[in-house]
Structure 1
Amino acid sequence: MAVTNSLTNNNFPGVAALLEVMRRLRDPETGCPWDLKQTLTSLIPYTIEEAYEVAAALTEGNTDDIKDELGDLLFQVVFYTQLTGEQGLFDFDQVAQQTADKLIRRHPHVFGDTTAQTDAEIKQQWEQIKQQERADKGADESVFAGIPANLPSMLLAQKLQKRAATVGFDWEHLAPVLAKIKEEIAEVEEELERTNPSQDAIEDEIGDVLFAVVNLARHAQVNPEHALRRTNLKFKQRFQAIERRLAKQNQRAEDLNLEQLEAEWQRVKQQTQSD
């Protein structure tokens, strides 16, 4: 491609080529009409979609898909910085430099003279530096300052719990975490068994269960979003295996009752566990 060939002298020719492609797409006279219509806010849904597609590709493990989806997500960053550059705010290089500076600042055990070694020490140091950065910016003094309210609920729960833990509001062992889940499940059961259960109360109690499970994942050093994504993929693959088995018998899932489907599920489960 001519654009790529003309930029190969750059230390990062791929990045330079992508930036030039973006510039051409936004050219007021010769650019793409769709790209010219976009704004910082109109791109938000596409960015969220691309982030989820990256996560899906990483979960499924196809190298070509991972590279492709990472490229799509990188293009979102390039698009945003093209728009901010046009507005005289900042460009791609400034974003990259600021991020590099931030990472250096937050890793003094690598780039400085501190001696943090264990994961716990590094995490504590990271949080202390972030807290100081928020204070320097004059941010809200709340422990939750800077956490976006519109994060996906599971990620938000995890971040709220981690921040509360930085000031000591956390259990030190798994036993009370597990006990809390059992307690919350019992409260769901209690509400469901009422003569006239309240849907609002049921939703509230189930939310408490989910929040407690996220807490368990955090204490077990498991990312709850990753764990649920793996389970979603596993469920999908197993049910699709059932559909394939049935198709060979000229049957469909809707032709079977729940007991028969459960039997098929167990067969597929045993097969996948033995593979």
Structure 2
Amino acid sequence: ARCCGSETPAPIALASVIEFIHTATLLHDDVVDMSSLRRGRPTVNAEWNNPSSVLVGDFIYSRAFQLLVSIGDMRIMEIMADTTNKIAEGEVLQLINKHNPASTEQSYMQVIHNKTAILFEAAAHCGAILANADAATQDALRLFGLHIGTAFQLIDDALDYDGDAVSLGKNVGDDLAEGKPTLPLIHAMTQCSESETKVIRECLSNKTPLLPDTLAQVISIIRESGSLEYTRAKAQEQATLALSKLSLLPPSVYRDALYTLAEFSVARNV
């Protein structure tokens, strides 16, 4: 919004709405995934219980929409309503794909668009709307958000196999342990030997807790298959597309901040 000349406090309220929705989805996700650690600390469901996590998530969702009403823009209301619907749809798609070794890169990209990228897309789009930007600028910022959100999730999924547990604030290999076929895993099955592919497929299909040695074996296969490099290259493609959308904006510290954000989305290690 500030990139497009807005000087009102409304973008701050909108940013709060986005953060509320994001936090609510995390509270619900941790219950669905039975996660015990997030950002290096116990999850709400681990510290207290599932009902507490679900109900607090519901409360934060409702507060987000109360705050959204105070902004008073029906177009933004429409976008955010559609966005939260798509996020839920993405989570359902991810649940359907769990423990499915036949998952494709196309189905994976659909999941990350709906569950992650679409919130970035909505944030950037609505910011432009609040600033009364022209249609071309609105669309450019919408696409900026879409591409940066996709890049962010691709890197997140690469870090799950290539990161450090202390830095990540969660266990390395959590996606595999939860049966999630993310891009590093999907790509690895197209690159490694038949015996290695069999190991991955069996681990992904397994609905019981994986033994530490088995988990370590699959992580090693993925790291040696070139799939992390492939995933990072895909993320860089998305970040480059995001940066290309900023040329319509006039030079400013706010535009510079968006450039930095796009670069951080692929350079981060946490």
TM-score, normalization by structure 1:
0.29
Structure 1 or 2: more helix by fraction: 2
- Greater radius of gyration (CA): 1
Higher relative contact order (CA 8 A, sep 6+): 2
